Amino acid sequence: MKKAPRLTRSVEMIHLFVVGSVHYWGALIRSGLIYGFADAARSALSFLQERVVLAPIDAPAEQDRTRKSIPFGKGLSFVWTVLLNLCLASLLCLYMGLLHTISSFLVVTSLTLFSLYHTFLVLAISLYEDKQDTYNGKWLYAYTLDYMIRNPFKSLFVLMLTWSAMGVAYFNLVLFFFLVPSLYWMMIQKGLQVKVKE
């Protein structure tokens, strides 16, 4: 009987992760897929914060989050989508054996660019969610670049977590769609423990 509450909590957490992931994919689709990565990430983070899976946010900050979106979010999400599609296209060319030397170069180049850009964008979203009033507009991204360079292990953490998520997608697409987005953003926020100086 002692295991029942622990089992209940586990089922509730899985349910929260599934609902959070549905929020993520819903926001991504509502944003038109190619412009929605930043909005979808913030939607999943807001849901997890409301359910106290992550540290709860105070009322004024919550009002700001519903009113403000991340600066240049749609443009940055568009670049993210273009780089992701470039990675997929180069991998497809390599798999099909088309122009093997050029395809190999494109795979390495596109994966490197996507990895760096994805890490940068994830850190920017995390910093913005933590304290969006501290840095606005281009200063948020200048601070993010500085944060990325000064904290290489945190950048590596984001990168390793991203490739782990891609590994889950490769082996089990259903698990990826229903659990990974919520788990990913929860682990990002808890793992980074982003604190911006006042």
Q: Which two tokens stand for residue 90?
A: 């180069």
DSSP state of 57: -
Cα(140)–Cα(76) distance, integer angstroms: 13
pLDDT tens figures, 57-110: 444 444 444 446 777 778 888 888 888 888 888 888 777 766 667 767 888 888
Q: Among candidates 109, 114, 76, which has minimal Cα distance to 94?
A: 109
97/166 Cα distance (integer angstroms):
23
Tens-digit pLDDT profile for residues 170-195:
898 888 888 888 888 888 888 876 54
How far are the Cα atoms of 34, 35, 45, 118, 123 from residue 79, in angstroms, in the given order?
9, 9, 21, 10, 16
CA 33/CA 31 separation, integer angstroms: 6
The stretch 151-167 carries a mean pLDDT of: 89
Distance between CA atoms of 40 and 181, rounded to whole angstroms?
9
Contact 49, 57 (CB under 8 A): yes
For residues 112 and 87, give the distance between their C-alpha atoms in angstroms, rounded to a whole number: 9
What is the pTM (predicted TM-score) of this model? 0.78
